[in-house]
Structure 1
Amino acid sequence: MLVAAPYVPETLAQKLRDQGLWFVGSLGNAYIEMPGEILIYTTGKRPARWQPPNASWMSAQGAKVLFQLLILGSRVHATYRDIVRNTGVSLGMVSKIITSLLGRGVISPRARGVYEIVEPHRLLEMWSDAYALKLRPKISLGRFRSLYGADFARMFKETSKAEMKSVVIGGEYAADKLTGYLRAGLVSLYVPPDRVRAVLGVLRLAPSSEGNIELYEAFAKRLTMPRSRKWPPLAHPVLVYAELLATDDPRCGEAARRLKERYLPWIQ
C-alpha cells in the first residue's frame, strides 16, 4: 500500500514506516523499502509557508531546555535551578518553558523536581525543530576545511586529548560511529567559546564556504552521553538525531531512525 499526501510530518512518517506502509509526499518526504533491493527514507522537509509556532520552546533558549530534558531520559529528575546550571537559560525562561510543556501534555509532574515525559516522540520532534530553526543558526561559527580532507579519523588521531579538551564531535561523523550506517562527509565540532581559537590552531582549520567541518559554540555543560569515555568524545544521540534531520540527505533520515532505535528506545 502506498500513501500519497502533500505533506508527511516526521511523526507520521515514523508511524507509517513502523506499520510497513510506503508513503510519498509532494515535498520529497518518502518511504519505500524492498529488502535487499531498495531503501528510500526521507523526512524533515516542510512546506515553504510553514512557520514555527510562536511558543517559548521554539527559541534558542527553548531548544537548550528541551535538549536537557531529553538527555535525562523518560523520567526527569531536575529542578528548575538544575536546568539553569546546565543550560545557562534564565530561571524565568525555564519556568515559562516547563509550564508550556505541562500545558501541552508533553510532560507531567510526578514530584518536586521530577517529571515524566509522557509524549517523548513529540518532545523529540519539538527539539529537532527548535534546534534546526533557532539554536543552530545562533551557535554556528562557520564552515572550515582541514589538511586531511574527509579523513576525519586521521585528523583526530593527530591531536591529543589535551588539545581537544571539552570539544564534542557531532554530525555525520558521530552518526557513522554510533550506527555504522553513514559514510561521513561532514563533521560538527561543538567548542566552548574560550577554546575556539585554540581548536582552530590545533586542527589547522581554514575558513571555507565549501568546507566539510562545521564549528558550533557548545550550548550546554554536557553534550555527550553520561559516563562516555570514547575518543573522540561523541555528541549525545539526541543532538546527533536533530543534526541528521536538519539536512536534506535521504541517508541521514535513515541514519536518524537507526540512531533512535538503538540509543533512544524509550522514545516511541
Structure 2
Amino acid sequence: MDNLIPAMRPVDQNLSALVEAAAVAFRDATGIPVHPRKAPRGSAADTELEFHVGARRFRRPALVRQTVDRYGTLAALNAHATPRHDERLLLVTSYLSPNMINACRELQVDALDLAGNASVLLGDSVVLVSGRPRPDNTQSSRPTWTRSTLRVALALLTDPSLLRKPYRDIAQAAGVSHGTVQNGIHSMLDRRDLIAGPGGHGMQFADAGRLIDEWAMLYPALLRGSMTLGHYRTDVPDWWRSVPELPDECRFGGEPAAAILTDYLKPAAFTIYCTDGVPKEWVARGRLRRDRDGNVEFLKSPIRLAAAADYPQTVVPPLLVYADLVASGDSRNLETARLLRERYLPT
C-alpha cells in the first residue's frame, strides 16, 4: 500500500488558491494579518498559517478541505491524527455557517473560511467571526458522490491492489455493475481523488488520507441509512463473543469491531454487517428481540465480505469500523477511532 500513498500531502493549485483567499478574508474581517506558509517537511498538514497579533507570531499547521458542512465532518477531521497531538486542529475551508462555527467551538476545532468567518484560538484569546454570507463563487463544481461510487471507493480503499486490476474485479469486490465502476472511477479521476499510475499503468490515490476523511464524512448521510436490515435488543452480557463465526455472511462493525481491533473499548452498541439477512443463529444465541430503538443494529454490507490478511475475519474493513465510530459522535468512540486510524488506515 505504501507505494500508492504520497509521503507528503502538497496542496494542489485549487486548494492553494483557497488558502490564499481565506487568509485575505480573515485579515479583512479581523484586522489580523495571516500568511500562508509551506507545511513542515514530513508533516501531515496541508499548509501552515502564520498569524501576526501585535509583536507575537503564531504558526499553525492546517488541513484544507473544500467543503465542511456537517457536524460529522468535523468529528471525522478531529478524529484524524492532527499535525501535532498537542495542538488544536486548524481547518481552512470554503464556508462555515453559524451552526458550523458553533460546532467548531464545541469540538475545540479552529477554522476559517472564504467569507471571513472564523473561530481561532490565538494565545489566550479567541477570535470569533460568524454570520458573514457565503461568497457567490464557493459552490463546488466537483462531480457529486452517489451511493454506488461510495461503494466503489470503499472497495478501492480496502484493497488498493484493485487499482491495478480490471473493472470487473472492482465490480465484484464492490458488489456493483461494471458500468457503475466505470462511472465511479471517472468521477474520482475528475475530482483528482485518483490519478493515473506511473507509465499509465493502473491508478493510484492522489491522497488516500484525504479520501478517507471525505468517505467517512459522506458514508453516514449518503449510504449507511439505506442498508438497514433491522434493530434488536439484548440483555445478555458479552453475547457477541459467543456467536458462531460466519465470516462469509456476517461480521462486526462499529464498537464490537473496534474492541477486537484495538482492545480498547467495551461495546455498548452493536453494529453487524451481513451479506443478506440477519443470521438466525445469532438471534438465537444472543437472545435478540426486535426493537427499533435497540442496541443491536444489523446492516447490509456495502461491499463483498472478503478474506484479508491484515485484520481478523470476524470484522469488516477498518475504514468501515472507523466511519461507524466517527458517525456516533461519542467521545469514547472518537478516541478509539484515532487509535484505529493510526494502526490500520493511511494518513
Q: TM class, shorter-chain normalised?
A: 0.7 to 0.9
Please state whether the residue corresponding to 1:193 is helix, strand or coil: coil
Of 207, 211, 221, 2:290 maps to 207
Does the 8 Å contact 1:75/1:115 carry over to 2? no
Bigger Cα displacement from structure 2, 194-203 vs 85-94: 194-203
RMSD, matched Cα: 3.4
Does the 8 Å contact 1:60/1:130 carry over to 2? no
Cα gap change, 1:113/1:78 in structure 2, threshold over 3 Å: closer, same or farther?
Answer: farther
TM norm structure 1 = 0.74
The Cα offsets for residues 144-190 of structure 1, whole Å up to 9 and x where unpaired, read as 11241xx23x4432x3336x762111111111221122221111111
Cross-structure match for 2:156:
69
Aligned counterparts, 1:1-268, within 5 A = 9=74, 10-11=76-77, 14=80, 16=82, 18=84, 20-22=86-88, 26-27=102-103, 28-30=106-108, 58-73=145-160, 76-110=163-197, 114-148=202-236, 151-152=237-238, 154-157=239-242, 159-161=243-245, 166-194=249-277, 196-197=279-280, 199-222=282-305, 226-227=308-309, 230=312, 233-264=314-345, 267-268=346-347
Does the 8 Å contact 2:244/2:281 carry over to 1? no
Q: Which amino acid aligns with 1:29?
A: L
Please state whether the residue corresponding to 1:102 is helix, strand or coil: helix
Q: Which amino acid aligns with 1:26?
A: N
Displacement of 1:219 in angstroms is: 2.4
Does the 8 Å contact 1:176/1:184 carry over to 2? yes
Please state whether the residue corresponding to 1:20 is helix, strand or coil: coil
Does the 8 Å contact 2:155/2:170 carry over to 1? yes
Displacement of 1:14 in angstroms is: 3.9
Cα gap change, 1:259/1:228 in structure 2, threshold over 3 Å: closer, same or farther?
Answer: closer
Please state whether the residue corresponding to 2:292 is helix, strand or coil: coil
Q: Which consecutive unaligned segments of at least 5 residues does structure 1 have?
A: 32-52
TM norm structure 2 = 0.59
Please state whether the residue corresponding to 1:183 is helix, strand or coil: coil
Cα gap change, 1:89/1:26 in structure 2, threshold over 3 Å: closer, same or farther?
Answer: same
Please state whether the residue corresponding to 1:22 is helix, strand or coil: coil
Bigger Cα displacement from structure 2, 109-118 vs 235-244: 109-118
Displacement of 1:139 in angstroms is: 0.4
Q: Which amino acid aligns with 2:204?
A: E
Q: Which amino acid aligns with 1:212?
A: N
Higher relative contact order (CA 8 A, sep 6+): 1
Cα gap change, 1:197/1:99 in structure 2, threshold over 3 Å: closer, same or farther?
Answer: same
Percent identity, aligned pairs only? 26
Please state whether the residue corresponding to 1:246 is helix, strand or coil: helix
